[in-house]
């Protein structure tokens, strides 16, 4: 395969990965859900330690 063919394959793969990344970041996607769970965990830990919003 020549350089042009390699470039086309790389662009195709990059496009596929971009579609997958956007899907993960959308509401209901795995990354979106993971960030929500992280926020819930951080809030719970802050509450259990007794920290206030003032520091």
**pLDDT tens by residue, 1-55:** 456 789 999 999 999 999 999 999 999 999 999 999 999 999 999 988 876 666 5
How far from 11 is each of 1, 3, 21, 31, 38, CA to CA, in Å? 15, 12, 15, 24, 33
pLDDT at residue 44, as a whole number:
95
Residue 30 C-alpha from the chain's centroid: 7
pLDDT at residue 54, as a whole number:
62
Name the CA dihedral angle for 6, 10, 16, 17, rounded to a multiple of 10 degrees.
Answer: 150
Residues sharing a CB contact under 8 Å with residue 9, sequence separation 6 or more, in sequence order: 1
pLDDT at residue 16, as a whole number:
98
pLDDT at residue 23, as a whole number:
94
The conformation of residue 2, written as its DSSP 8-state character, comes to -
């Amino acid at each position: 395969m020549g350089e042009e063919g390699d470039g086309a394959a790389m662009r195709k793969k990059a496009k596929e990965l971009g579609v997958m990344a956007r899907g993960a970041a959308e509401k209901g996607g795995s990354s979106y859900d993971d960030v929500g769970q992280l926020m819930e965990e951080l809030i719970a830990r802050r509450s259990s330690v007794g920290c206030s919003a003032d520091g």
